[in-house]
Amino acid sequence: MHYNKTMNEAYKVCVEGGSGETELKKSRFIAHVAPVKSEEEAVSFVNSIKKEYYDARHNCYAYVIGKNSDKVKYSDDGEPQQTAGLPIFNVIKEAKVTDVCIVVTRYFGGTLLGAGPLARMYVEAASLGLKNSKIGTMRYGAEIKIEADYKNAEIIKRYIEKEEITLNNIYYANNVCMYIRVDFNDVEKVREDLVSLTNSKMDFSKISDAYFIDMKT
């Protein structure tokens, strides 16, 4: 699976993991989700869950890593083929999230569920875990430095709050210096708006371009 993102295209990542649990015929399915940046982190997370739930019959998992989902792996961990790992992976795929690992632990309840119901339970557990996680959007943007006197700085701050622009840092000295992050495509609009609001009485300079996490979407 490859999402094939262009250089400036936004994509979703797991920022903070969550968990979820569901049950069918006394079989418990417990999902744990974690943000991962490498296969080593994913393997470490899987192993930590296996250690915590050492007495469970199965610890099935899937992970997707990289902007273009460059690294993908899933495992049925002893369940019938394609009833656990692949369904978990499909939850990630449908959500279009990357840099994420989901492990679903199953405690067998004594009744065989059959391939269809089994796969559905892994999907349900993984979906609950992902729903209870924090997902952010990686946007390609610019870090901007703005410098102005105190009067115009207040105007700029109100604009930043109104437009819900990310304010990383603010420093007070002879003038006020602010560092903001904006979507790459919005840089010129923000500059023009601030020039108009302050009658050009501010300095606006781009420091760097980079991806940053937007938690609002």
Higher pLDDT among residues 143 and 8, named by residue: 143
**17-37 tens-digit pLDDT:** 999 999 889 899 999 999 999
Lowest mean pLDDT across 40-44, 52-56, 203-207, 209-213: 209-213
CA atoms of 103 and 46, how far apart (whole Å): 7
In terms of pTM, does the model score above 0.85? no
**107-143 tens-digit pLDDT:** 988 777 788 899 999 999 999 999 999 999 988 889 9
Residue identified by tokens 């470490």 is 44
Mean pLDDT calculated for residue range 155-183: 93
Question: Pairing mode, if any, of strands 134-148 and 203-214?
Answer: antiparallel
- Residue whose C-alpha is closest to residue 100's, from 52, 51, 45, 138: 45
Ordered by where they begin, the domains of the chain are 11-132 (3.30.230.30), 138-214 (3.30.70.240)
**Phi, psi (rounded to 5 degrees) for 153:** -60, -35
Residue identified by tokens 């420093």 is 171
Lowest mean pLDDT across 26-30, 97-101, 156-160, 208-212: 208-212
Predicted local confidence at residue 3, as pLDDT: 46
The band of 216, judged by pLDDT with boundaries at 50, 70 and 90, is low
Mean pLDDT calculated for residue range 190-194: 95
Question: Pairing mode, if any, of strands 100-107 and 27-35?
Answer: antiparallel
